[in-house]
Amino acid sequence: MNTNKRSIASIVRDTHIRRLLALMILWMIFMAIFRFDKFYTLINFQTMAAQFPEFGLMALGVLLCMISGGIDLSVVGVANFTAIACGQLMKVIAEGAGLNGAGILLVMLIGVVIGTAAGIFNGFLVSKIKIPPILATLGSYELFRGIAIVLTKGKAVSELPIKYAETIAGKLFGMIPVQLIFFIAVVLFLSFLLNRTTYGTKLYMLGTNETASVFSGHNTDRVLITTYMLSGICAALGGLIMLANYNSARADYGTVYTLQCVLIVVLGGTNPMGGKGRISGTVLAICVLQMISAGLNRFPQISSFYIPLFWGGVLLLVMVWDTVTESKKSGADLKDFIFSKLNIRIKKEA
């Protein structure tokens, strides 16, 4: 009980959480003034809840990798490759016995296996071959994208069985999007891993100080491979949700999601250098960005082509703000340390 209270208190004290909550409140007030009748509707919130899990799951994978001190830029490539492979598999199954519940489960399991293999591949490149994460995952992104283009010859995989889209993109009890259920399940699972298992402790220590992690007896290679494997699974699940939302798959779907995922993770309070990050901050950042994106769509005069420009500018501003804030904090901590040492010395001389 006390542990839960301390955890909640630390979340409330987090400046990034407070900043996101303030931004959300201000945006909701803005939309209430200018687009109340179009924004505050049940169908709009249901649409938002169905849309954000596809890139939200990818952002959770990027979060894990960034906590380790790395990054995963291959999430969109893994997602599209998974969606294409599973889409083609569905067409084969549908031509045979037809796509039923067991067939959908099989397709999703195959998708998870593909994501697991892609993540282990990335983890191997980073941990064993010692390729910098940004280069390793950027290279694997192009690799998976290239394989997807070869498989489809640059065309979309379409005319898929509608049963899959109706199941995964449907609504539970006619109200709750199924995609949101998948997202919540992954959030709870990753929260348990980070906060209740030794894996979480090892991951944070690795991101904070790799040398200390090694001398503590941690198998850093295993931690890295596990981390990128989890990121690959998250990306694959995101791809499966994209497949249901669009009822098609293509190698260039969701190209803006890479930038968006990095923005979400940084905006949620994760340190790009590693060792710091919260699931709660990332989830809140996902909700805020989805609300902003949905709100901007309510203004016809704002072109969708400006949105990536907006995300890029916000990312730079947040990183500059965090850098300046951390520098001031470090300077204040150093000043307090020096003064404390001087006071101790003065008392000893006295």
For residue 265, which of 252, 283, 247, 287 has the smallest C-alpha distance? 283
**Any domain includes 2:** no
pLDDT in tens, 112-161: 999 999 999 999 999 999 999 999 999 999 999 999 999 998 889 888 88
Nearest one of 19, 28, 41 to 285, comparing CA atoms: 19
Q: Is residue 180 located within the same domain as residue 75?
A: yes
Same domain, 64 and 152: yes
The last residue of one of the domains, among 302, 319, 341, is 302
Residue 298 structure tokens:
């309510």
Of 4-8, 92-96, 141-145, 336-340, give the range with the top mean pLDDT.
141-145
**Is the same domain home to 262 and 328?**
no
Among 53, 239, 246, 58, which Cα is nearest to 145's? 239
Angle, CA 30 vertex, CA 26 and CA 34 arms, to 5°: 175
First to last CA, the chain: 46
Q: Is 3 part of any domain? A: no
Q: Is residue 1 part of a domain?
A: no
pLDDT tens, residue by residue, 199-250? 999 999 999 998 889 888 899 999 999 999 999 999 999 999 999 999 999 9
Q: Which of 302, 317, 336 is the last residue of a domain?
A: 302
Residues 200 and 323 in one domain: no
Angle between helices 198-208 and 220-246 (to 10 degrees): 100
Average pLDDT, stretch 178-206?
95
Distances (CA, A) of 117 to 46, 126, 132, 223: 33, 14, 19, 16
Asked if 98 and 173 sit in the same domain, the reply is yes
Residue range(s) defining the domain that contains residue 241: 11-302
Number of domains in the chain: 2
Specify whether 27 is located in the same domain as 63. Answer: yes
Separation of alpha carbons 89 and 129, rounded Å: 33
Please indicate whether residue 292 or residue 241 has the higher confidence score (pLDDT): 241
Q: Are residues 200 and 327 in the same domain?
A: no
Q: Are strands 171-172 and 176-177 parallel, antiparallel or unpaired?
A: antiparallel
CA distance 280 to 299: 30
Residue 4 lies in a domain: no
CATH number, domain of 164, equals 1.10.3470
Q: Is residue 77 part of a domain?
A: yes
Region of residue 274 (left: phi > 0; alpha: psi -120 to 50; beta: else): left
Residue where one domain finishes, among candidates 279, 302, 325: 302
Residues 231 and 319 in one domain: no
Residue 316 has pLDDT above 90, yes or no: no
Residue with tokens 């929260």: 191
- Do 122 and 234 sit in the same domain of this protein? yes
Q: Are 135 and 150 in contact (CB under 8 A)?
A: no
Distance CA 81, CA 77 (A): 6
User: What is the distance between the alpha carbons of residues 63 and 276, in angstroms, rounded to a whole number?
Assistant: 10
310 in the same domain as 269: no
Instruction: Please name which of 257, 255, 265 lies closest in space to residue 318, comparing C-alpha atoms.
Output: 265
Interatomic CA distance for residues 345 and 281, integer angstroms: 42
Answer with the residue of higher pLDDT: 89 or 327: 89
pTM summary value: 0.87
Check whether residue 332 and residue 201 sit in a common domain. no
Are both 158 and 175 inside the same structural domain? yes
d(CA 221, CA 125): 10
**Residue 6, in any domain of the structure:** no
